[in-house]
Structure 1
Amino acid sequence: MDKAGFGIYLRSALFLAVQTMITVLLTPLVLLVSLLPRYEYRYLLARLWARSLIWAASTLCGIRYEIQGIENIPEQNGIVLSKHQSAWETLMLFLLFPKAVYVLKQELLKIPFFGWCLARYRHIAIDRSQPRAAMLSLQKQGLARLKEGHWVIIFPEGTRVAPGERRRYAGSGGALAERAGVPVVPVAHNAGECWPRRSFLKYPGVIRVRIGPPLFGSASEINCKAEQWIESWMAEITASVPQGHPARGSLV
């Protein structure tokens, strides 16, 4: 069981209430704006939603952050390969990379309010129960989104992983980058230390985000370089977190 005091539970509950309120209030606006011909208005609302939740997490739960490497983001759009530990980075990456779209599982589109809004954007929804079809869909939709000027954000491990853990990296990001001729930007962070996966609780602390230099080359070269860069930075970031942090090792 998490060793969290009453204050952690209270602040986490307040954040959940604010998160729910903001999402419910913005949903009808997103649905209405999606009827307009100009696509940019939807992004204004999405960025407002993401910025509001990051502010709420900071104000209510004490989750601060520091970002290094923003200068590494090129003007040309491309692909982001990022570590995936929580919901926090999905908010921040959306703010860091213009017109970002995510590769996500189709089930998310069925979630009331949140899923309804997701469906109004040009995210790449795939069926993970059919790996081959999912790969083909990702490549086809990914090329289209890149040509439209979007950044495509991929979590190469496929799902959220607990701090200190890692999974096999999929090669779809490098394959798409080689085919489209766009750069890949690797991202490492420790968001799971403060906003753990599958947990209601949010812990105060500092989320450290590291953005790497653009990667080019063949699919295998890109994937190898991205994994090495991300995991080397993960080791350094994780080592800087106190061993007594309540989020460490508390989840399976």
Structure 2
Amino acid sequence: MSFIRSLIYALCFVLLAFILGPLILLARPFPFHKRYKLAVQWPRLLIYLAKIILGIRYEVKGQENIPTDRQVIYLIKHQSAYETLFIPWFTPYPVVLVYKKVLEYIPLFGWAMASLNNIPIDRSKGSEALRQVLRKGSKRIEEGRSPVLFPEGTRTPVGHKGRYQSGGVRLAMHSKTDIIPVAHNAGKIWPGRSFTKRPGLVTISFGAPIKPEGRSSDEIAAEVEHWIESEMIRMNPEDYPSSNPADTPVYSRSKKG
């Protein structure tokens, strides 16, 4: 039954792409806030359909930690596609996504993402990619948008963590913008590399703002990683070897597939 529901959901995803994708592209001449208001209906509908078709519900913890009077940088645990759909429509300010440039080659979906002035990066370019994140990320913050980054760089299986990258932390220091760490357990219900989704409750937890002023990048990065991984253990302790995030196995991209 889960496979059939997942198939129906996938068909709805494609249908929405054919309906909303062209509309978003046609809206390019309009001001950004109007285009974003249209574009954000796409993930909103997909989250709603996930509830109706797949039986995937969500609960939010720490919503009071999200400032409503200023932009922040969201550094998010990456296990699934669910969190990438949830964050854009839930947060108070328009977001700007930092993602792999190859995603823009996906027909309709990728083209729509590119039309919204997000930040595609080519990881193979190393320091140049980081400079691009700092330059464009700071500009988008000035324009009133909140950057979204996945510091692990790739989706990790449940019970694992990736090697946290410093791009989001450096952007926070460069732009003097607070960081909101985000943990969730969507990977248990919507596995990152599985077609079949399972019904259940996704918990999304927002941490308190982390201020970058007067601190080193290593110190901030360690706090971000510790909070996210500790929160992951708190939500689902049965998936981890101990209550110490240092004991969580590190997932290597070379193991993908």
For the pair 1:64 / 2:62, whether they are aligned, the reply is no
Match of 2:115 in 1: 120
Q: Which ranges of structure 2 fall in alignment gaps of 5 or more residues?
A: 240-255
Contact 1:163 1:238 in 2 (8 A): no
Runs of 4+ with deviation above 3 angstroms: none
Correspondence 1:1-252 to 2 at 5 A: 7-36=1-30, 38-74=31-67, 75-97=69-91, 98-217=93-212, 218=215, 219-239=217-237
Answer with 43-52 or 102-111: which moved more: 43-52
Deviation at 1:240, TM superposition (A): 6.6
Deviation at 1:128, TM superposition (A): 1.0
Paired-residue identity, % = 39
Deviation at 1:116, TM superposition (A): 1.0
Write the letter of the residue equivalent to 1:72.
N
Deviation at 1:224, TM superposition (A): 1.4
CA distance, structure 1, for counterparts of residue 117 and residue 47 of structure 2: 22
Q: Which ranges of structure 1 fall in alignment gaps of 5 or more residues?
A: 1-6, 242-250
Any idea what SS the aligned residue of 2:204 has? strand
CA distance, structure 2, for counterparts of residue 81 and residue 222 of structure 1: 12
Answer with 153-162 or 167-176: which moved more: 167-176
Match of 1:245 in 2: none
CA distance, structure 2, for counterparts of residue 71 and residue 32 of structure 1: 36
Deviation at 1:89, TM superposition (A): 0.3
Contact 1:128 1:134 in 2 (8 A): yes
Match of 1:246 in 2: none
Deviation at 1:96, TM superposition (A): 2.3
Deviation at 1:221, TM superposition (A): 2.5
CA distance, structure 2, for counterparts of residue 78 and residue 240 of structure 1: 32
Contact 1:195 1:203 in 2 (8 A): yes
Contact 1:78 1:151 in 2 (8 A): yes
CA distance, structure 2, for counterparts of residue 24 and residue 135 of structure 1: 33
Contact 2:41 2:89 in 1 (8 A): no
CA distance, structure 2, for counterparts of residue 224 and residue 183 of structure 1: 15
Contact 1:87 1:195 in 2 (8 A): yes
Which digits, 9 at most, give the CA deviation of each residue in 1:3-40, with x for residues without a partner? xxxx011100000011110111011110111122x111
Contact 1:77 1:146 in 2 (8 A): yes
CA distance, structure 2, for counterparts of residue 184 and residue 220 of structure 1: 14
CA distance, structure 2, for counterparts of residue 180 and residue 221 of structure 1: 17
CA distance, structure 2, for counterparts of residue 46 and residue 202 of structure 1: 24
CA distance, structure 1, for counterparts of residue 117 and residue 73 of structure 2: 15
Which digits, 9 at most, give the CA deviation of each residue in 1:119-148, with x for residues without a partner? 101211100111121111111111111111
Q: TM-score, normalised by structure 2?
A: 0.89
Which digits, 9 at most, give the CA deviation of each residue in 1:26-60, with x for residues without a partner? 11110111122x11111112221111000111111
CA distance, structure 1, for counterparts of residue 2 and residue 88 of structure 2: 27
CA distance, structure 2, for counterparts of residue 95 and residue 239 of structure 1: 29
CA distance, structure 1, for counterparts of residue 162 and residue 48 of structure 2: 30
CA distance, structure 1, for counterparts of residue 111 and residue 175 of structure 2: 30
